[in-house]
């Protein structure tokens, strides 16, 4: 359900250790459940010992565990896994390679820029290509701008989305016209959302356009990640959308405000605790609890995180 689906609670060290131990269980289902449970309920940062064990799992004999370890390392910000992830982009199994590529982007591993660019060139299309371009978009190195510009109108919507995000984060304004047209007319909703994010990031006012996409189960997690990235400065601009006719939008906006808001946000959220929609009430209640507990901080998220309503 995505990183905003769970409260930011500290998992006991005994639980973390037990889950990491279970990653080597003889039963494949136990191994898989253990490592994904770790990635779901544990908050960064991991202890040095736990980070070392997770990094070790990148060399596990089971490729499903290697791929999972890459995803979890990216989500939990295990920067010490950088070298192992660089090695894993040459793994014999495609899912492991793709997960490692995306994790390097999530971790902000700038040493990987050249290697990721080479991976993009090698794959040229398909999941390998968009994983590499997504990672480069997260790293936002100026050297990648020509690549983003070249694929802003690519036939592959995944590449268009990643290119939009890359231009946003590098601060390149040379394609504003193309982004404005695409934000309204692109055939893929995730791409329209990405272009709206880029325009907001580049100084335009596109919060309302972004929030519209939160009515969709497909794009709500994507837009939530963008809003969290934009952070506290846009919190007040979200307040009017707490009265949106769509319960999904009200709930998702409330959840985002629980992450980027502060004490001044509580007054705006309080009326939703009496909303006629149960999901909205739950989202508002949890958002208020998150702010009051002082745990309102952006969680790490992977490009593949999914949710219905956070």
Among residues 84, 111, 138, the one where a domain terminates is 111
CATH number for the domain spanning 284: value is 1.25.10.10
Among residues 111, 141, 160, the one where a domain terminates is 111
> Does 198 reside within a domain?
no
Assess contact for 203 and 216: CB atoms under 8 A: no
Among residues 111, 141, 169, the one where a domain terminates is 111
CA distance 152 to 198: 12
pTM of the complete model: 0.90
Q: pLDDT (tens digit, 9 = 90+) per residue, 18-68? A: 999 999 999 999 999 999 999 998 988 999 999 999 999 999 999 999 999
CA atoms within a 13 Å half-sphere pointing along the CA-CB vector of 87: 10
User: 295 is in which domain, residue-wise?
Assistant: 233-310
> Does 281 reside within a domain?
yes
> Does 226 reside within a domain?
no
> Does 160 reside within a domain?
no
> Does 56 reside within a domain?
yes
> Does 8 reside within a domain?
yes
> Which has the closest alpha carbon to 248: 278, 287, 292?
278
CA distance 217 to 220: 6
CA distance 248 to 216: 8
CA atoms 277, 278, 281, 282: torsion sign: negative
The count of domains in the chain is 2
> Does 261 reside within a domain?
yes
CA atoms 60, 65, 70, 75: torsion sign: negative
Q: How far is CA 194 from CA 29, 165, 198, 200, 202, in A?
A: 35, 6, 6, 10, 12
Q: pLDDT (tens digit, 9 = 90+) per residue, 76-124? A: 999 999 999 999 999 999 999 999 999 999 999 999 999 999 999 999 9
> Does 207 reside within a domain?
no
Here the tokens at position 43 are: 């908050």
């Amino acid at each position: 359900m995505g990183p905003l689906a769970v409260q930011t609670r500290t998992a006991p060290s005994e639980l973390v250790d037990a889950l990491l131990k279970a990653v080597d269980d003889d039963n494949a289902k136990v191994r898989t459940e253990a490592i994904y449970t770790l990635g779901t309920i544990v908050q960064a940062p991991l202890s040095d010992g736990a980070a070392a064990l997770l990094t070790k799992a990148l060399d596990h004999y089971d490729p499903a565990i290697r791929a999972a370890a890459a995803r979890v390392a990216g989500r939990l910000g295990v920067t010490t896994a950088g070298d192992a992830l660089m090695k894993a982009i040459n793994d014999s199994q495609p899912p492991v390679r793709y997960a490692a590529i995306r994790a390097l982007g999530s971790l902000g591993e700038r040493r990987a820029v050249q290697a990721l660019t080479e991976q993009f060139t090698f794959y040229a299309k398909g999941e390998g290509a968009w994983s590499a371009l997504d990672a480069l978009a997260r790293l936002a190195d100026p050297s990648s701008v020509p690549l983003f510009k070249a694929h802003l109108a690519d036939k592959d919507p995944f590449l268009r989305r990643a290119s939009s995000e890359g231009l946003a984060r590098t601060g390149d304004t040379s394609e504003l016209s193309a982004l404005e047209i695409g934000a309204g007319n692109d055939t893929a909703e995730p791409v329209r959302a990405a272009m709206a994010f880029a325009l907001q990031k580049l100084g335009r006012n596109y919060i309302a356009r972004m929030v519209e996409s939160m009515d969709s189960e497909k794009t709500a997690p994507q837009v939530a990640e963008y809003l969290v990235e934009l952070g506290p400065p846009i919190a007040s601009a979200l307040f009017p959308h707490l009265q949106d006719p769509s319960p999904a939008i009200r709930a998702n906006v409330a959840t985002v405000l629980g992450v980027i808001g502060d004490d001044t946000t509580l007054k705006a959220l309080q009326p939703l605790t009496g909303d006629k929609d149960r999901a909205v009430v739950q989202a508002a209640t949890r958002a208020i609890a998150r702010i009051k507990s002082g745990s309102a901080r952006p969680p790490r998220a992977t490009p593949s995180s999914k949710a219905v309503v956070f």
